[in-house]
Structure formats: structure tokens, C-alpha cells
Amino acid sequence: MALLLKESDVRQLLTMEMALGAVEESFQRLADGKAILHSRQRLFVPGGSYLHYMAAADARRGYMGLKIYTSSREGLRFIVPLFNAISGELLALIEADYLGQMRTGAASGVATRLMAREDATRVGLIGTGLQARTQLLAIAQVRNIERVRVFGRDPARRSKFSSEMAEQLRIPVGAVETAEAAVRDADVIVTSTTTSQPVLNGAWLSPGVHINAIGANFPQKRELDSDAVLRADIIAVDSREQAKIEAGDLIQAFEGDPSRWESVRELAEIATGRTPGRARPDDITLFKSNGIAIEDVVTASRVYEKAIEIRIGQEVPLWENEEQFGQRPPRP
């Protein structure tokens, strides 16, 4: 029996505290060599939709799985099949839209804890979608945030977003009319958009700021102009291999000097103390997030274990005839 967990189940089970712990654990797995990771691949049907898939295994806790999702003009659909890494048993099928939002927010939360100044209190946010919400939730858990300024292209949406997040976080969240107004004098900046052209200019950055750039994961897209990337004293990614494939912000900024990739760090190296996330208070630091499968697998495994503990979800009968499992079908 596999356990089917719907979006409503995941929302009931997964807290930001749990997501932060799971994502940090996933970086520990990468650092100690107990994670096996395959970068995202994409299949495109001309005139139709994309199929995206990415896989990983947590060899320490005995889980493996993948995230599969489609994107089209009708939207996105996410699912994580989670397997026992020893027996190959399918443990769960997990609808994973909310799971992805939470683990992406948690990755920025971990990066902010490791790379932002300890006295950071002001956040500038560009973007008002679902991902932007979990970014703020995570950052508010790792820093004592006192003020947030938000810009989005739609005035009504940014006003609604600001009032809802102010109520949820119990801190001032103000809508502003330009991206520059959102990020000027911010201690932490988040770009969470679907743009293909830069929305954050290097000229707007204050000394000591930390940036979480999460929106662009195609080589031809970017949220940061080259100056914003090149001004960063420390750049971290969740996976160098995957960043070289799809982090358009870095790919385009480094086009004239590929040797700059040599200085890009993986967040796992910072999480385990192998390299610092910040050397000086005035350093500009950047986390370019693409999202990697080990984050999904470790988070999904925690959701699955919690579901088993409190008995949530629907059992789905699959491969019930165990004695036939692995045997060849009879000859006709």
C-alpha cells in the first residue's frame, strides 16, 4: 500500500519549522556524501507543456524519490513519489505544490541565517506570488524582522499581499510603487518573480545586504542585472552543477569570464562550516536558489513520517500480488 497525501494533507502536516529543519538536513546530506542527486531535466512538447523531473536519494535515512511536475498555460501540477531506498517499495504519492513552496522558502531561510548580517531587520521583496509568502515566513523565523517593503506590478495584488502578510507576521509590511523603493536600504532582499528580464539593479544595493534570488531557473531568464551579481562578495547556490545549467542570473553575468564560477560556493559548504557565508559586515552576499531534488525528498520524507504518526492520508493499493512481484509474466 502506498499512502496518498493530497495538498490539504500536506498543508496540515508541514510547518515552516519542519521545512527549515528538513532543508538544512538536506544540505548536511550533500556535505557528508549521503545524498545522491540528479539535476532537473526538462521535456518540452512543442506547442504544449513542459515535463520537469528531478531525483535524489537520502542514503542515511533510507529514502529516495523524485519531483515530477508539468507547466503549461493552464498552470503547474506537482507530485513527489517517495520510495524506500532499500526495498524499492513505493511509500507515498504526495501532491507537492505547497511542499515546493515551503521547501523553497526554507532554503532562503537557511541561506539568510547563514549569510545575512545577524542584525538584519529590514526586508525588501520583489514579487507577490505564493512563493513570496513562504519566503517571508522563513526569513521571519531566522531573523528579527521589523519591516518589509513589497513591490509587485499589480497595485491591487501588492496591496492585498501586504495587508495579509502584515496580519500573519504581525510586523509592518508596506506596499511600494517601484522595485527600487522596495529594496533601498534593505538588509535582506528577495526576488520572487517570473520575469525574464532583470528587476533588481546593482546600483540599488546597500553595503552588507543579503539577496535571495529564487525566480529564474532557465538560462535565458534572470531577475538580477549583471552589476548586482558582480557586486556580490560571496555567491552561494544549492548546486553548482544545476546552477551552471539553469541559473540565468549567473550564467549571463559570468558569460565574459567563466572563471568566476570557481568562486561560487554551495550552501552545503557554508552550512557545515567549510567556508564562511559572510566575511565582513559590509559584504554583499547572494544566494541564487534553483531548488534541488534532495530538498524535496528530505522534506517529503518528514511529511510522510508525520502522516504515518498521526494517521493522515489515503492508502492506495498498488502491486498487491507480492508473490508475482519481480517475476516474468507467463508465456502466452
Could you tell me if 279 and 300 lie in one domain?
no
Could you tell me if 178 and 212 lie in one domain?
yes
Left (φ > 0), alpha (ψ -120 to 50) or beta: where does 64 sit?
Answer: beta
Could you tell me if 320 and 180 lie in one domain?
no
Could you tell me if 142 and 280 lie in one domain?
yes
94 in any annotated domain: yes
Could you tell me if 63 and 152 lie in one domain?
no
31 contact partners, CB below 8 Å, separation of at least 6: 268, 269, 271, 272, 274
Task: Return mean pLDDT, the chain.
Answer: 94
Residues 265-322: tens digit of each pLDDT = 999 999 999 999 999 999 999 999 999 999 999 999 999 999 999 999 999 988 776 5
169 in any annotated domain: yes
329 in any annotated domain: no
The span from the CA of 60 to the CA of 124, in Å, is 38
Could you tell me if 281 and 143 lie in one domain?
yes
Q: Is the pLDDT of residue 323 over 70?
A: no
Q: Is the pLDDT of residue 331 over 50?
A: no
Residues 159-172: tens digit of each pLDDT = 999 999 999 999 99
**What would the mean pLDDT of 23-40 be, rounded to a whole number?**
95
The active-site residue out of 67, 221, 288, 306 is 67
Q: Is the pLDDT of residue 330 over 50?
A: no
Relative orientation angle of helices 130-142 and 155-169, to the nearest 10 degrees: 30
**What would the mean pLDDT of 25-52 be, rounded to a whole number?**
94
Could you tell me if 130 and 68 lie in one domain?
no
264 in any annotated domain: yes
Question: Which pLDDT score is estimated for 93?
Answer: 98
Contact indicator for 23, 267 with CB cutoff of 8 Å:
no
Residue 159 domain boundaries:
117-288
Question: Which pLDDT score is estimated for 12?
Answer: 97
Query: What is the pTM for the complete model shown?
Result: 0.93
**Distance of alpha carbon 279 from the chain centroid:** 25
145 in any annotated domain: yes
**What would the mean pLDDT of 53-73 be, rounded to a whole number?**
96
Could you tell me if 126 and 231 lie in one domain?
yes
Instruction: Give how many domains the chain has, as a whole number.
Output: 2
End-to-end CA distance of the chain: 29
228 in any annotated domain: yes
Instruction: Read off the CATH number of the domain in which 84 is found.
Output: 3.30.1780.10
Question: Which pLDDT score is estimated for 321?
Answer: 67
Q: Coil, strand or helix: which one is 67?
A: strand
The span from the CA of 189 to the CA of 198, in Å, is 14
Could you tell me if 81 and 214 lie in one domain?
no
Could you tell me if 83 and 142 lie in one domain?
no
Q: Coil, strand or helix: which one is 310?
A: helix
Could you tell me if 319 and 274 lie in one domain?
no
Question: Is residue 67 among the annotated active site residues?
Answer: yes
Residues 126-166: tens digit of each pLDDT = 999 999 999 999 999 999 999 999 999 999 999 999 999 99
204 in any annotated domain: yes
User: Residue 226: in which H helix or E strand, if any?
Assistant: helix 226-230
Contact indicator for 136, 125 with CB cutoff of 8 Å:
yes
Pairing relation of β-strands 285-288 and 265-266? Answer: unpaired
21 contact partners, CB below 8 Å, separation of at least 6: 302
111 in any annotated domain: no
Could you tell me if 68 and 174 lie in one domain?
no
Instruction: Read off the CATH number of the domain in which 137 is found.
Output: 3.40.50.720
